[in-house]
Structures are given as structure tokens and as C-alpha cells.
Amino acid sequence: MSHGPQLTVSAFFSVVVLLLCSNPVIGRWGPRDGDGHDLALQGKAVVHAGHRLERAIVPDYATARKAHLIGKNEDVICLPKSPALPLPEDDATFTFGQANIQGWAIFYQSNYSVAFVKPKCVVPGHVLVMPLKSTKRILDMQPEELADLFLTAQHVQRGMELFHGVSSSMIAVQDGPDAGQSIQHVHVHIMPRRPNDFKENDEVYDELNKHDKEPAAGWRTKEEMKKEADELRPFFKSL
């Protein structure tokens, strides 16, 4: 079954690394990468053929040369996410395509991105990450904005998995109207997944395409959304 040009996070991370490889940067991935245990970034991740990710510390990366860090198709650099910024006031307003996001809905903010709760969810814990700058398509984003968006999405994914006690997520970007985008502003869907949450796994794509285009049933109140955001704020601050 074809679901149109749904975009994958792995593809975007590859683009981000290529865009920013001119600057030596370092990050941290642990030997249990992907299970939600490594929440910080501090060091260099090196992939060797036939082996899992191994952590290596680079003492003075500011003076290291790109050739030394990247190597020849062997080493992979993990980028450091932006530090979390103070959250906005509840009455602050952020443009989100044709809509607005109020400050009370935001539970995490970085230099270029925010994460917020949404009025209608495909699964419990379904949240969005968007760039602060009004941008319709990923193709329109600057490298530093793109890097920040997906590093923030990764951080939010791990946090939401920990918060909901799950070990899987669906990450999706509907980039353009033919891909199902209804809000003309780049945004990343973070959806914690649970065993058997859909009869057929691919049903989640159909639900994503139609969930916010249907009548009022299932839409949450401001009070319900704010309650979720108020619970997520201190949780993400503690990560």
C-alpha cells in the first residue's frame, strides 16, 4: 500500500549531517542507542564497519580538522542539540501556518524550534515539533534550522517514550499538500507507539492523513491540552 511521499527521520538526519559536516561537532550515542537511555550529547560517536556505535571522547574538538573527525566513509558525527530555552508565557502567540499556537501549549523550546501539544491526536502522546521561523517546506529551511528541528525532534521522541513508558515511536513529516500537509508550516509528528495500537500497522498513516480533517469528535479542550503540557514541562526540564 502506497501512502505518498511520507518522509523518514533517518533520511533527514543524513541530510543534516551532510549540510553541517563543514563544522567539527560532536555528540554522544551509547551502546544502547535507540532504547531511550541516552538523553544527553557529549562526545563523539564513531561507527566502525561490522560493529555497533562506540563512544569516543574528543578533548579539543574546536581545533580538530574535518578530515580527522569525518574520516573516509567510516566515522559518523552526532550533532549536539541546542540547549533548552526558558518557556514562553502562557499568553505568547506563535505563528503556525494558518493557525496560531499559544504559549501554554509549548512544553519545550530550543534556539530554533518548539514542541507543543495538539488538539487532536492519532495516539496518546502525539505531539508536534516545528521551527519558530514560518517555513512552508523543509526545502526552505537553513542548515542550522534543519539541524535544530530534527535534533529537537529526537530529544522530544526520547522524552515522550520515557514519559509514556514505551519503546517505539512513529516520526513523520508531511512535506507539501500532496503528502497530506494541512498546515502550511513545517512540523514533525512524534507519536509514541504501543503493541497492537492499530489492527494493521499501516493504518496509522491513513489516520494521520485524516485525523485533523474530520468533524469535532475527538478534539480536545484547552483545559485538556494545557493539563498535558503542564505535566510535560517539568518532565522535560528534568531530562
For the question of residue 185 being annotated catalytic, the response is: no
- The structural domains of the chain, with segments of one domain joined by +, span 26-70, 93-237
CA 92 → CA 32, 121, 198, distances in Å? 39, 23, 36
Residue-wise pLDDT tens digits, 46-60? 333 333 333 333 334
pLDDT at residue 13 is higher than 60: no
| Rounded distance between C-alpha atoms, residue 79 and residue 210, angstroms | 34
Residue partners of 150: CB distance under 8 A and separation at least 6: 9, 12, 13, 16, 188
What CATH number labels 93-237? Answer: 3.30.428.10
pLDDT at residue 17 is higher than 90: no
Residue partners of 188: CB distance under 8 A and separation at least 6: 9, 128, 129, 130, 149, 150, 153, 171, 172, 173
Residue-wise pLDDT tens digits, 138-189? 999 999 999 999 999 999 999 999 999 999 999 999 999 999 999 999 999 9
- What type of residue sits at position 87? L
Residue partners of 63: CB distance under 8 A and separation at least 6: none
Q: How confident is the model at residue 125 (pLDDT cuts 50, 70, 90)?
A: very high
Catalytic residue among 126, 155, 185, 187: 187
Instruction: Please tell me which of 30-44, 103-117, 209-223 the model is most confident about, judged by mean pLDDT.
Output: 103-117
Q: Which of 209, 157, 188, 204 is nearest to 7 (CA)?
A: 188
What is residue 25's predicted lDDT score, i.e. its pLDDT? 37
